[in-house]
Copies of this chain bind each other. A is one copy, B any other.
Amino acid sequence: MSGSVRIVGLGPGAETLVTPEATDALARATDIVGYIPYVARVPDRPGLVKHATDNRVEADRAAHALSMAAEGRHVAVVSSGDPGVFAMAAAVYEALEAGPKEWLTLDIAVLPGITAMLAAAARAGAPLGHDFCAINLSDNLKPWDLIERRLRLAAEADFAMAFYNPRSKSRPEGFARTLEILRDACGDARPVIFARAVSTPDEHILTVPLTLATPEMADMRTVVIVGSSRTRIVERPGLAPIVYTPRSVPA
């Protein structure tokens, strides 16, 4: 009997944001593989084996999932958000390419999910309604110089920007530096949205001008969105402001 791997996006947190396709894949799986809090989101049932691991072991976790599938198991590798955006899909394909040839013909697929920046954008309004970029601010896997270069080029292109993994305890200085670069490169008070734990009970959305943004406003559960030069804030009496980027740029 041949096994399978489904790399499943669980969305940002709320069960109402999990696609039926993902729910169905979790119901068919024999094994769930992933980071502890994401595996915990899958309901227990008889016969389901959960393999929850800590952060920063993505490569081992991916190889484990592939080897179980090669033995005939039906494995769901779970990611928060969308597995294709700074999550487990690339890790699994890295392991597949590096692994034994027989893994190449495994039944494997990515099931997309609502990624954090789009859930955050929806809550704030439509800040990503025009051209934008997504940058992972963690320098665990790439040199900081490259991040800095991308920030400056993204500002020059006048993209709205979404930042994943803005800040962790082990590298508090990177996000402070990011804000400095943006203030230098953008030179105005464009809106910055700090969206924490969107769609969970801990959800918190804060919008401030770039001039007033501080590193402490972000942690590892926060996605940060910075508007383009065209992004607008609509103040509303008694309600949170709406932040949106118009569709058009005049000639």
**A residues bordering B, Cβ < 8 Å?**
11, 14-21, 24, 58, 82-87, 89-94, 96-97, 104-105, 109-115, 118-119, 121-123, 125-136, 141-143, 146, 149-150, 153-154, 156-159, 232, 234, 236-239, 242, 244-249, 251
Determine the distance from Cα of A244 to Cα of B110 in the docked complex, in whole angstroms.
Answer: 12
6 interchain pairs (CB within 8 A)?
A82-B114, A83-B122, A131-B133, A133-B159, A143-B251, A150-B159
- The answer to whether residues A246 and B94 also contact, given A118-B82, A129-B89 and a CB cut-off of 8 A, is yes
Q: Which 7 A-B pairs have the closest CB atoms?
A: A90-B129, A89-B126, A133-B133, A141-B248, A110-B122, A93-B244, A142-B249
Structural contact, B236 and A105, CB atoms closer than 8 A: yes
Residues in B neighbouring A141, C-beta threshold 8 A: 247-249
The closest CB in chain B to the CB of A143 belongs to: B251
Q: How far is the CB of A247 from chain B (nearest CB, A)?
A: 5
Interchain CB contact under 8 A, A84 and B122: yes
Q: Are A134 and B131 in contact (CB under 8 A)?
A: yes
Assess the A234–B97 pair: CB atoms within 8 A.
Answer: yes
- Contact status B249-A86, CB under 8 Å: no
Q: How far is the CA of A84 from the CA of B96 in the complex (A)?
A: 34
Q: A156: which of B58, B133, B153 is its contact (CB, 8 Å)? A: B153
Please determine whether A234 and B112 come into contact, CB atoms closer than 8 angstroms.
Answer: no
CB distance from A227 to the nearest CB of B (A): 12
Asked whether A17 lies within 8 Å of B134 as measured between CB atoms, the reply is no
Chain B nearest CB from A221 CB (Å) reads: 18
* Smallest CB separation, A117 vs chain B (Å): 9
Shortest beta-carbon distance, A188 to chain B, in Å?
Answer: 18
12 additional contacts, CB 8 Å, given A16-B24, A97-B234, A105-B238?
Answer: A16-B20, A17-B20, A84-B121, A90-B244, A91-B247, A93-B126, A133-B133, A141-B249, A142-B249, A143-B249, A143-B251, A149-B157
A125 touches B93 (CB 8 A): yes
Q: Is the CB of B122 within 8 A of A118?
A: no
